[in-house]
Chains A and B, each alone.
Chain A
């Protein structure tokens, strides 16, 4: 532990680690020094001069954001000279500013407004004509209004350093300086919107939100992103039951402020005109609208018939429904429908990892571990496209801690740029490619290995054996595709494993087998689209629950309109096995949550007396599922809870695992109904594009 440095700020004594900046030291004792260009986690710019402070024995005011604390330093932030400097800086920043706050998207949450309010610069001595530049649209996502820009370069740095994209630059000089996109008049980038959110003023605005509403007119609800498996917390702004935008400015949740385009701007799918709002039943070969009563009675009758005849029933679960829904569905299937024909579209071989790591504590990497590990190995995945948050974490780890990154993929990836070693292999050669890295990895103090569907079945155990052979602590992440893919596996939506990967005596059919099986009386598909590009399966009755009339729903006998992740409460488990709370953001007329549907059916069929709520099921999960003994109160309060693999977890050897290979701009069915994803010119994106 290096010796601490003691300094005085506004008469208060504070001790900080060597290397701490004065602006940070001040925050520790509750002194907030105003800043625009300073941004925690990004490189220093020293561009805005808002943070000027007085330091004893230094003749001129100093920028607190670039000044490193030294022993005995005496800093004052409350002198008339400092106040005058701040006032002058605000006046200076406002010289060319259009002062169009009444119509600016940022009005009400603008840092420049706040500074002007606090440090005052109501009067301007600037009489010259303001330099005007028309507003520019750079992409469907990003718009730039130069006159509002205060040239803090936050956007440039977050895109360069945070995103690893580097799409923004600064052109011209002095008062004519402006931010410019990488393709001259337009952007080609991740379209993540990080630059928009980080902009302290309204210079960068988003295609989704601009000129739609005022920040204070919205309700803000923090929930978990409905798209990929990384589990970012997104705070959705809601106006009149419509989702207007997503952001995470309070840096809460395991993603901090990170979000990709899907978490920020793809949240309009709940309001898509193609959304199902009434049950549909097939009559004379056509699907026609029906009441919930009629549809549920029909389903009940078919299930009762099948049970009475002892005919097999198949159930295909979802990668998007909550843990509670998944758990309840497997209970419904196994306990009440007496069937083990239960599966979901598996996108990563989590059961194999559960088996390989059974009984070992602390071998699952958390999202945080990706930021703190000394070394990270990526096997067979394009993280920047498929797991944007994990990619961000690893990049931050490299920037802040000089972590060493190793890559084994079949094509170039963004990680190559800062990787200690990148190995290119033929498809299927991933495990072998690893061997080339063994020596380098052995020299690392610790390691996190992330692997995609290139490693599955027996290969997962081989990968873990390779990890063991390194003689260093190794943690793993098995990459899966969607918001609750991990939860679907953990909750036992598998033909041969129950919740927590407990082996079953009589394994049922896999998804593929169910789709081919001619004897199924009922095939029940929940929030999945396995029939895309296929014929109707031979099962006698096909029940589908979904948001949209998917290819699978089109073939169904009954379609029940389901609520999306943004329309319900519950929990989901991310790719790293962290459980987080989903909160209902909006209500959509006509639909029911999948849990409501299951529960209503269970009541009708006499399996239970009263419908259950998600909290009841969550408590049951916490009691019954090995590895899920989590703190329910902490979870309800919004803290992610880590899970682990139980000691007797078993491996599923049945059925192939396949990632859907979504990119930044696709995401299965949901992606098709999120307007912005298809509008950006980079869509649909390419894997291994680098």
Chain B
């Protein structure tokens, strides 16, 4: 597999920065970078990573199945993660998640038909002081009320994906 110039450069830096004999430690970031480009950890990606790092398929499968941020199926163009952990829940995180489900017509781990949005209920994302907290791709959004949420969705839709992507 060959990736974009930008991704390849990131992967190259990743490998250079490992001391000899420790290539294996590049596994998690490598998977993340590739997922950012490909959208998911497909069987071909697993194979590619095995080759690049000299690890076994088992090693990769262990990591992919462990970390929920690594996906086997592509997410939407905008992957929305809503925290329902305690701090956020106390200030309406759970309601926000339910609202998001209704608004987008999908549930946890769902993807909208046009492939624009996907939704995930997540545990604490480290923004407890500013709950309810939500993450769209790599961008954080704080104090997200249902109204704020709706506005954001419209904006992203209007932009037709021209806003900052993954």
* Nearest CB of chain B from residue A488's CB, rounded to whole Å: 41
Q: Are B66 and A180 in contact (CB-based, < 8 A)?
A: no
A168, A172, A184: the one within 8 Å of B66 (CB)? A172
Name the A residues within 8 Å of B17 (CB-CB): none
Contact with B along A153-186 (1 / 0, CB 8 A): 0000000000000111111110000001010100
Given A171-B66, A172-B66, A173-B66, are A180 and B56 neighbors across the interface (CB < 8 Å)? no
Which B residue's beta carbon lies closest to that of A170?
B62
CB distance from B136 to the nearest CB of A (A): 25
Nearest B-chain residue to A160, judged by Cβ: B58
The answer for the CA separation of A258 and B57 in the assembled complex, in Å, is: 26
**B66 touching A169, Cβ below 8 Å:** no
Chain A residues near B57 (CB, 8 Å)? 182
Encoded as 1 (CB less than 8 Å from any A CB) or 0, chain B from 56 to 84 comes to: 11110110011010000000000000000
Q: Which residues of A contact B61 (CB under 8 A)?
A: 169, 171, 180, 184
Q: Could you tell me if B66 and A166 are in contact, using CB atoms closer than 8 angstroms?
A: no
Measured between alpha carbons, how far is A171 from B66 in the docked complex, in Å? 6
Contact residue range for chain B? under 10
CB neighbours (8 Å) of A182 from chain B are 56-58
- Does B58 contact A168, Cβ atoms closer than 8 Å? yes
Minimum CB–CB distance for A172 against chain B, Å: 5
| Cα A169 to Cα B62 with chains together (Å) | 6
Q: How far is the CA of A317 from the CA of B68 in the complex (A)?
A: 63
CA distance A149 to B133 in the complex (A): 37
For the complex, give the distance between the alpha carbons of A167 and B57 in Å.
Answer: 10
Dominant secondary structure of chain A at its interface with chain B: loop
Task: Please tell me if the beta carbons of A171 and B65 are within 8 angstroms of each other in the complex.
Answer: yes
Partner of B58, one of A169, A172, A173: A169
**Interface of chain B: mostly helix, strand, loop or mixed:** helix
Q: Is B65 a contact of A172 with CB atoms below 8 Å?
A: yes
> Which residue on chain B has the smallest CB distance to residue A176?
B65
- Cα(A469)–Cα(B17), bound, Å: 44
Task: Collect the chain B residues with CB atoms within 8 Å of residue A166's CB.
Answer: 56, 58
Residues on B with C-beta less than 8 A from A168 are: 58
CA distance A386 to B83 in the complex (A): 56
CB distance from B86 to the nearest CB of A (A): 18
Q: Which residue of chain A lies nearest to B59 when distances are taken between CB atoms in the complex? A: A169
- CB contacts (< 8 Å) of A184 on chain B: these are 61
Measured between alpha carbons, how far is A184 from B65 in the docked complex, in Å? 12
Within 8 A of B (CB), among A170-224: 170-173, 180, 182, 184
Is the Cβ of A173 less than 8 Å from the Cβ of B65?
yes
Q: Specify which chain B residues have a CB less than 8 angstroms from the CB of A170 in the assembled complex.
A: 62
Q: How far does the Cβ of A168 sit from chain B's closest Cβ, in whole Å?
A: 7
Residues on A with C-beta less than 8 A from B66 are: 171-173
Closest-by-CB residue of A relative to B65 is A171
A182 to B61 CA separation, bound complex (whole angstroms): 9
Q: How far is the CB of A626 from chain B (nearest CB, A)?
A: 50
Return the chain A residue nearest B56 by Cβ: A166
Contacting residues, chain A, for B68 (C-beta < 8 A): 173
Query: Which A residues lie within 8 Å of B59 (CB)?
Result: 169
CB distance from A175 to the nearest CB of B (A): 13
| Cβ of A257 to closest chain B Cβ, rounded Å | 24
Q: How far is the CB of B28 from chain A (nearest CB, A)?
A: 14
C-alpha spacing A431/B47, complex, angstroms = 39
* 8 A Cβ contacts from B74-126 to A: none
List the 5 shortest-distance A-B pairs measured between CB atoms, nearest first: A169-B58, A171-B65, A169-B62, A182-B58, A172-B65
Q: With A166-B58, A170-B62 given, name 8 new contacts (CB 8 A).
A: A168-B58, A171-B62, A171-B65, A172-B65, A173-B65, A173-B68, A180-B61, A182-B58
Residues of chain B at the chain A interface (Cβ within 8 Å): 56-59, 61-62, 65-66, 68
16 A-B residue pairings within 8 Å (CB atoms)? A166-B56, A169-B58, A170-B62, A171-B61, A171-B62, A171-B65, A172-B65, A172-B66, A173-B68, A180-B58, A180-B61, A180-B62, A182-B56, A182-B57, A182-B58, A184-B61
